[in-house]
Chains A and B, each alone.
Chain A
Amino acid sequence: MELSRRRTLPLLLLPGTLCVGGFFVLPLAFILRESFLGEGGRMTLSLYVQYIQDPKFYRVFLRTLKFGLLVTLLSALISYPASYAIARTERGKKSILMSIVILPLMTSPVARTYAWIVILGRFGLINQTARALGVIQEPLRLLYTEGAVVVGLLQLFLPLMVLNLVSAMENIPPEIEEAAQSLGAPRWVSFLKIIVPLSADGLVMGSVLVFTGSITAYVTPAILGGTKVLTLATLLQQETVVFMNWGNATVISVVMTGMALLLYLLLRKTRPKIS
């Protein structure tokens, strides 16, 4: 049995490894090599040095990080009490609540983001309402702003935070809280001292997923930010399709991939249990 197991292992892993190796690792390695290639085939950092000093890249890079932090923070704040409420509802109701939470995750991101055009557009919900109430005369420009992108990203990634928090909170026996409360702790104290620390794994996991998702998302900044509010992902598209500047696009690719992989590996190292 043991011998035949050892013999089947390569057979099990080989086809998948060839696929990932050939169609994922190889093209990415090619890009990475390109990014260091100078004139005459020498290795150089000049592509990075040039582009990172470009104020446009710099601005977009910082804005992308800002979006990531803001969306992560807001989604944690919104999700914490709501996830607690979901975790503490009875089974039947909880499965309905959870299937509504995962619905946006399964929906076409284009359709989901289009909803924000209906809300924020020139003739959208907010502008029409404000005009009808006489608050404004001319429609406000709400689309193609940083706020629009943040709101869109928030709706996109909230479900990930909720899923992780709920699954962490479900595992906390309600008896611990009951004990704290019967000993006189007010409910908010037992929430802060019991629920928050015991759901920290879910919060970390959710935060990394939301942050990584926000700094790499394409559809939301493309539709709600356009060329006015570029992020790394939409800048990469612009450099490739509009300017055909392979060098710049390569640098952006390496920077984005580096950040995403680094966060993932950090998560794996520090929380082996949950990844």
Chain B
Amino acid sequence: MKESRFLLFSLVFLYVFLIGPFFLIFLTSFGSESIMTFPPKGFSLRWFAKVFTVRMFLDSFWISLWIGILSTLTALILGVPVAYALVRHSFPAKGVVEVVFSSPAVVPGIVIGFALLRFFILMGNFPLVTGLFLGHTVILLPYTVRVVSAALRNFDPSVEEAAVSLGASPFRAFFLVVLPNIRAGVIAAFILAFITSFNNVPISLLLTGPGIATLPIQMLIYMEYYFDPTIAALSTLLILLTILIVQGAEKALGISQYV
């Protein structure tokens, strides 16, 4: 009996520590004072209104959204064939290929950002947006490869072989048989990769400049100069959005198995 009380205590401690801070953000975002205090004094919705009127938040939101969608799609288009090769083929340098396609998730993001800044932006005169797109695509590849590989491993190869032996070209068999069956994994990969891109700071940090900043970077810049609860309100909105997506994806796809 004593042990199970200890287990319960450790469980409660873990969850309070993990999500308790979120509730504090919710509370402060409704405060009416223009300096963030706790407990918040008064009640107001003006910080939520302010989120939607600050030009730099809106602009950077659209940049984050587009960078997220484009680099996720690119990482999927490049990553699905790689995952297929890794799961269905056996070839000599497989270990090397695995390491190469995992390493963008291993090398610190800020280092990748720094390398892209030096090589492409400063030396190659690429526009910053291109650097952002390339950096995000590269770091999303390990996610799409890993999640799609997991989905492929759960799909019986004999179904596809049956299609090929009945005369379908491997190409047709992939699009008509394999892809529909690993749909859930591909969608899970899209969601995970998009969230990773949308939340990313280290890659974007050094690849921003006047007029070009992603939303998390813009939040960091705002926090340096203002102490009002606008960031709390924006964080509240982002957290609620994340809860909706994660709960939906967990129910529909069991996304926690891919994290």
Interface residues of A (CB under 8 A from B): 1, 4-5, 8-9, 11-13, 15-17, 19-20, 23-28, 30-31, 34, 78-79, 81-82, 84-86, 95, 98-112, 114-119, 121, 123-125, 128, 154-155, 158-159, 162-163, 187-188, 212, 216, 218-219, 222-223, 233, 236-237, 240-241, 246, 249, 253, 256-257, 260-261, 264-265, 268
Contact = CB atoms under 8 A, between A and B. Distances in A.
Contacts of B242: 103, 106-108
A84 B235 CA distance: 32
A268 B6 CA distance: 35
Contacts of A28: 107, 111-112, 115
B202 A218 contact: yes
Contacts of B6: 81
B166 interface: no
B110 A110 contact: no
Contact of B10 (A20, A81, A123): A81
Nearest to A191: B3
Given A15-B81, A103-B19, A155-B18, A237 B238 contact: no
A237 B221 CA distance: 14
B7 A31 contact: no
A8 B108 contact: no
Interface string B183-195: 0000000000001
Contacts of A1: 164
Nearest to B123: A30
B110 A216 contact: yes
Contact of A95 (B8, B25, B256): B256
Given A27-B115, A85-B10, A155-B17, A118 B97 contact: no
Contacts of A104: 18-19
A13 B97 contact: yes
B38 A257 contact: no
A24 B139 CA distance: 9
B36 A110 contact: no
B205 A237 contact: yes
Interface in B7-27: 7-8, 10-11, 13-15, 17-19, 21-22, 24-25
A187 B3 contact: yes
B120 interface: yes
Contacts of B102: 264
B201 A218 contact: yes
Given A16-B82, A81-B7, A222-B220, A107 B104 contact: no
Consensus secondary structure, chain B interface: helix
B67 interface: no
Q: What are the 8 A-B residue pairs with the smallest beta carbon separation, nearest first?
A: A115-B21, A111-B235, A216-B108, A27-B115, A27-B119, A81-B10, A12-B81, A123-B37
Contacts of A12: 81-82, 84-85, 89
A121 to B, nearest CB: 7
B82 A260 contact: no
27 contacts: A15-B77, A17-B100, A19-B137, A19-B138, A19-B141, A23-B120, A27-B115, A85-B7, A86-B11, A95-B256, A99-B250, A102-B255, A102-B256, A106-B195, A106-B199, A107-B22, A107-B239, A108-B199, A109-B201, A158-B14, A216-B202, A223-B223, A233-B110, A236-B111, A246-B118, A260-B107, A264-B106
B256 A98 contact: yes
B176 interface: no
Contacts of A95: 250, 254, 256
B187 to A, nearest CB: 15
A233 B202 contact: yes
A256 B202 CA distance: 13
Interface in B42-85: 74, 77-79, 81-82, 84-85
A5 B89 contact: yes
A23 B103 CA distance: 13
A100 B116 contact: no
Contacts of A86: 11
Contacts of A17: 82, 97, 100
A107 B120 CA distance: 30
B259 interface: yes
A223 B25 contact: no
B243 interface: yes
Contacts of B91: 9
B101 A20 contact: yes
Given A19-B74, A24-B138, 20 more contacts: A27-B118, A28-B115, A78-B10, A82-B13, A85-B8, A95-B254, A107-B199, A108-B242, A109-B199, A114-B235, A115-B21, A115-B24, A118-B21, A118-B28, A121-B36, A236-B111, A249-B114, A253-B114, A257-B108, A264-B102
